[in-house]
Chain A
């Protein structure tokens, strides 16, 4: 794996001067991913913050070929680029190996782009799809998405007098992608940049589709100080709200196990979008529900990763 020192000598192909907010998780993700992706690469970008803030004509932050088509179709678009590449290779017009990376936010991936993603994964294009997951439609102003977690307040699921934010749990997109049985699927977060770098390298090494779901905090939407972006994803990993794991050819592997699993309150109280859960009488039942959801998902993951025996085996022992 490439070391931090080696990474520091690589050319920055996602340059500064873009219009993303200071402390934006998506910017850190884009920069890290491009540093890890050595060699020629084409980037596809779904409509969203990363797209609008990095390519305000006539400027571009991308020192690599980059294409934006529309919101819901980045997977299909990059699949077209990759197919053109294969056609050129077949005809001997292009010798060099290129990589193909699609960036979509959670809106463009969990929701409106899910069909295009599923189709591209099923067709088996050699591409890395990266969901920079900031858990709401941030570009349009913090509307709830299929990735917004239970209890969070957004502009279309606000913490109101009767309804305390979003009541539904978020989709498990990583599991949905894993169900396509592609060679490499992983969940990552920018605070653990060596893990992220390694995952990008592994993903680009497979001969087929690969997928990374990367937690990319948005301090405007999550309501925490901009300088705490990497702290907040660390808390997400340590509360097991956002476990870091990978699925290599169907085999689950846990990449990070907190020494002490922190209570979900540590994650919730870090962010203003959950503030209503603790104001006045608060929403203790909802908080308990969120904790129970996390516990259950974490245990499921530990079982899948072979870190815990399956529940029925443990039940057997109890008998």
Chain B
């Protein structure tokens, strides 16, 4: 791999700082947002950029997340590069409009600072907010740390705006664990970011095009299905667009962002699947167990939508047991969302691994290496006996 082509600037940034800094460098036309913990500092920081004249962005301080996303739709349909950010209940309040943004093919980019969805009310991390919107038609990328929070927002924006895709994108990172944790983040110079994202060229724009057209008409059984099929087609183009965007980004930074990432997984008998900050903890647990002579590894899933089924099958196909850890519960489902989809992705693998599921960390419950080691140990037992005691277990619950 070639080294980075651009000199980076190392800055101490929290996840929220990093996302706000990326937004500042993108300098979007319009941002519409509403404050909610743990996203708040992100928008506060961005508001400072606006009020200090460091960006040209018009900021809409909406009276709710529903209106924030609605205003994003209006601005994006008018031809503006549009961004926002939210968490948890605010994200849930956007729900209706998330689907509309995707169906109107508006490449809005949003940071979602993952927080448990009420109720009971809680402000700490789990993935119940963004996981619930996995069918909304948005590209969904999970960042592990502040560096990825910064990088993936840029990669996602460029892929979303690709005219073969034209779908909105959300980048997630873990509330408090990442949003409020400071790390050294390598940032690009402003010029490099502006050149990377380029000037925004909307596929259509109500204001920049004199031709009048109708956005969001009533669409019955005679056309609705075809329009949904076109939306599906946009999502089918997303993997290539994400790969192209990530490749260009890698050229600038040397940092590579595929849909997933493996760690000591090549010869592993047991591979854990994790998203977000837990991947870091899992690497630590992998090292500890490798020290003890256990053949374990990790697959960090970065891109949840579009779901990289083929890459997952290739990455996990050689294992005896796959342990899927998910920070979300899907009530009444057979396992958590990532479990169900990973297990399905493995269906046609010649020697199918056994797959077990652990739900962990709900409402911000701390999940240390000891808990993940516990999950690995059960995976090792399943791998050696070929016998699953229960498909779905819970880590760290009393």
Contact = CB atoms under 8 A, between A and B. Distances in A.
B206 A87 contact: no
A73 B97 contact: yes
Most A C-beta atoms less than 10 A away, residue of B75, B208, B213, B214 = B214
B71 interface: yes
A181 B110 CA distance: 33
A94 interface: yes
B66 A76 contact: yes
Interface of B: 29-30, 32, 56-58, 60-64, 66-68, 70-80, 82, 96-97, 100, 206-208, 212-220, 223
Given A76-B71, A77-B70, A60 B30 contact: no
Interface stretch (A64-72, A171-179, A258-266, A271-279): A64-72
Contact of B74 (A60, A77, A93): A77
A83 B58 contact: yes
A83 B30 contact: yes
B92 to A, nearest CB: 15
A87 to B, nearest CB: 4
Given A87-B57, A116-B63, A79 B214 contact: no
Nearest to B77: A67
B77 A81 contact: yes
Nearest to A62: B214
B80 A84 contact: yes
5 contacts: A42-B206, A55-B214, A66-B214, A76-B71, A88-B207
A75 to B, nearest CB: 8
A91 B64 CA distance: 28
Contact of B58 (A44, A55, A68, A90): A90
A69 B58 contact: no
Shortest 3 CB-CB contacts between residues of A and residues of B: A80-B74, A119-B63, A80-B71
A115 B214 CA distance: 25
Contacts of A94: 207-208
A63 interface: yes
Given A65-B213, A72-B66, A77-B70, A84 B61 contact: no
Contacts of A83: 30, 32, 58, 60, 71, 74-75, 80
Contact of B223 (A44, A57, A120): A57
Contact of B64 (A68, A77, A119): A119
A115 B64 CA distance: 9
A58 B225 CA distance: 14
Contacts of B213: 60, 65-66
B56 A84 contact: no
Contact of B218 (A51, A67, A88): A51
A270 interface: no
Nearest to B80: A84
A281 to B, nearest CB: 45
B67 A66 contact: no
A44 B57 CA distance: 23
A82 B71 CA distance: 9
Contact of B207 (A44, A72, A84, A116): A84
Given A55-B218, A66-B212, A90-B58, 20 more contacts: A42-B206, A44-B74, A62-B212, A66-B215, A69-B74, A73-B66, A73-B67, A76-B66, A76-B70, A80-B60, A80-B77, A83-B30, A83-B58, A83-B75, A84-B76, A84-B79, A84-B82, A87-B75, A88-B79, A119-B64
A88 B56 CA distance: 10
A81 B72 CA distance: 9
Given A80-B70, A84-B80, A88-B80, A55 B63 contact: no
A139 B48 CA distance: 44
B208 to A, nearest CB: 7
Contact of A79 (B57, B60, B79, B100): B60
Contacts of A68: 215-217
Contact of A67 (B56, B61, B215, B223): B215
A78 B60 CA distance: 12
A93 B208 contact: yes
B43 to A, nearest CB: 15
Contact of A63 (B68, B76, B212): B212
Given A65-B207, A83-B71, A88-B208, A70 B100 contact: yes
Contacts of A56: 217-218, 220
B8 to A, nearest CB: 28
Contacts of B72: 80
A98 B207 contact: yes
Given A80-B60, A119-B67, A57 B218 contact: yes
Contacts of B78: 42, 80-81, 84-85
Interface in A2-28: none
Contacts of A52: 218
Given A60-B217, A79-B71, A67 B206 contact: yes
